Amino acid sequence: MLLIGQTMRMPANLLARTARRLRREGPQAVVHAVIRRVYRIGQRDHSTEPLGGVFAWLAAQRSFVIVQIGAFTGATGNDPLYAFLQRELPKKPHARALLIEPVESSFAGLAEAYAGIQNVSFENVAIADADGEQDFYRLGVDPTAHGKPAWLSQVASLRADRMDLWEDFRPDLRDFWLRHHVVERVRCATLSVVLERNNIAHIDLLQIDAEGNDYEILKTIDFAQLRPRFINYERELLGEDEGACRSMMTAAGYLLLESGKWGEDTLCVAIDQTSRKLRVTLCGEITEQSEPSARGRDLR
């Protein structure tokens, strides 16, 4: 009865993701996912999720390095880093944040949002697999002027098929975006080049929101050379690549956890760099039981 009750309260977008997982991975994977979701709802405060545990750990350190790919304008209601960085960076002169945003108008807003904080760096580029210029697809009008939600401006990507990736996207918003989107050339650079340019050799938290291009970015990382302690990326737009991305991160020695309000993101925790105590704090009893036999099995 509990399983039925929790499933019936799932929003439409979560039901659609469940249907896609059923098609890709079969009924057993869906059952495991529902059990884990119900377990979390029953065992911890609904406002608590793994990324919050990461922030608590970072706040306890003398310094940290955070890199955000796809930072948009920073001060939005759904930016996972903005409030934390505004609170913690002024208190930690040795901490650093590198914020990356390719759209010039959004980049200007980003710099303004963090004005006065000395230990923030900015890069006005898109992260890609090669340096140069590429087409970038984004909304060309203010959606709020047309009665549409402000967050629609954040739907921007190097992928021309971005609007095809979100199967359960509202048809009216999809049509609006397709009618009013623009294609512009943006500067691109590899992550390794950007990090070298900013003298960053270690990352504590890598946050990626590249609107479907997250896997392509992760594939460019040589984890033998660069091993972020935590990586949080958006998984709900990866489609058929989600399984390959998950396998790659597990093989690289990361434990994978659902994050975000409805599990739309994946938090990767480097097992060799993160203490067992912290892993248990982030993951709970399920990770404690599964970790010895199969790393990363907590997210299927």
Q: Which is more confident, 238 or 187?
A: 187
Confidence category of residue 77, pLDDT binned at 50, 70, 90: confident
Ranking 4-18, 99-113, 187-201 by mean pLDDT, the lowest is 4-18
State residue 41's pLDDT score. Answer: 35
Closest to 252 measured CA to CA, from 231, 280, 234? 231
Tens-digit pLDDT profile for residues 117-170: 989 999 999 999 999 999 989 888 888 999 988 888 888 887 777 767 666 667
Q: Please give the residue that has the higher pLDDT: either 47 or 256.
A: 256
Of residues 84 and 153, more confidence is placed in 84
Highest mean pLDDT among 154-168, 178-192, 260-274: 178-192
Residue 293: which pLDDT band, with cuts at 50, 70 and 90?
A: very low
For 215-230, the pLDDT digits (tens) are 999 999 999 999 999 9
- Specify which residues 126 forms β-bridges with: 188
Instruction: Examine the pLDDT at 43 and tell me if it is beyond 90.
Output: no
Q: How confident is the model at residue 46 (pLDDT cuts 50, 70, 90)?
A: very low
Question: How do beta strands 96-100 and 120-123 pair?
Answer: parallel
CB distance 102 to 124 below 8 Å = yes
- Quick check: 124 and 187 in contact, CB under 8 A? yes
pLDDT value, residue 40: 38
Give percent of the chain above pLDDT 90. Answer: 47
pLDDT of residue 291: 41
What is the average pLDDT value for the chain, to the nearest integer? 80
Give strand pairing partners of 205. Answer: 66, 230
Cα separation, 126 vs 252, in Å, equals 24
How confident is the model over 46-66, as a mean pLDDT? Answer: 84
Q: Are 232 and 104 in contact (CB under 8 A)?
A: no
Which of these ranges, 6-10, 30-34, 61-65, 161-165, has the smallest mean pLDDT?
A: 6-10
The residues near 291 (Cβ < 8 Å, ≥ 6 apart) are: 255, 271, 279, 283, 298
Best CATH choice for the domain 49-130+188-290 from the list 3.40.50.720, 3.20.20.140, 3.40.50.150, 3.20.20.70: 3.40.50.150
Where do the domains of the chain lie?
1-45, 49-130+188-290, 136-186
pLDDT, position 26: 53
Matching residue, tokens 């660069």: 226
Residues with Cβ within 8 Å of 36's Cβ and at least 6 positions away in sequence, in order, are: 258, 286, 298
pLDDT value of residue 163: 67
Q: Which residue has the higher pLDDT, 22 or 34?
A: 22
